[in-house]
Amino acid sequence: MKRLYPGFALIVLFASCSKKEIAAPQTSPAVAAISQIAATARPVVTTWERPMEWSRTTAPDGSTRYSSERTVPALSPELAENGLVLTFVTGYNLETPALEKPMGLPFQFYSLSGRSDRPLLWEQGIRPGALSLSVTVPAADAGQFESGSSRIQVRHILLSPTAIAATGRTAEELRNLSFRDLAALLGIAR
């Protein structure tokens, strides 16, 4: 009988509390909307765009490296050195593009057809005033890349050290966010 009273008391206490009262407290600091952050801290965001042209080089192992460069006047030496430059790509899945989500560079992607045992390697290069995108494609997938490269779209997000601090997260935490979560955090259209 003595065991029933504490159990009954817990049930009554639990039933009388609302969800808000028993929710765990938030451990991360509140983050202001990016629209409330000073203009100097706002990120530089490009629209989704197709790479203008691809240059092609062949490696000794037979793989092909495709590269495309874009000038970005806002990419100052200080931003390139101390800021965060994120590049997202769509169209990387050359076989079934409807199944993909934007991916942040760098990443590896295996061809679904299984023609090659090596992945497509997607990478970015950063230097003041310009960003480059490169894809290393196994020889078996080179033709497929050439026919599907017109569907590739790229979007760059540049964050200064001030903009990184304004988000309340570290550069590494921002780099690990999905495009959807990053767009929501920064208040940019997807």
The model's pTM: 0.75
pLDDT in tens, 92-119: 887 776 668 999 999 998 876 666 678 8
Please indicate, yes or no, if residue 172 is contained in any of the structural domains: yes
Give the residue ranges of the chain where pLDDT is below 50.
19-20, 22-35
Domain with 82 in it: 44-186
**Residue 9: per-residue pLDDT:** 54
Residue 105 within a domain: yes
pLDDT at position 73, please?
95
Number of domains in the chain: 1
pLDDT at residue number 29: 43
Which pLDDT score, from 0 to 100, does residue 110 have? 83
String of DSSP letters for the chain = -TTHHHHHHHHHHHHHS-HHHHSPPP-SPP---GGGS-GGGPPEEPPPB--S--EEEE-TTS-EEEEEEEE-TT--HHHHHHSEEEEEEES--SS-GGG---EESSEEE--TT-S-SS-EEEEEEEETTEEEEEEEE-GGGHHHHHHHGGG-EEEEEEE-HHHHHHHTS-HHHHHTS-HHHHHHHHT---
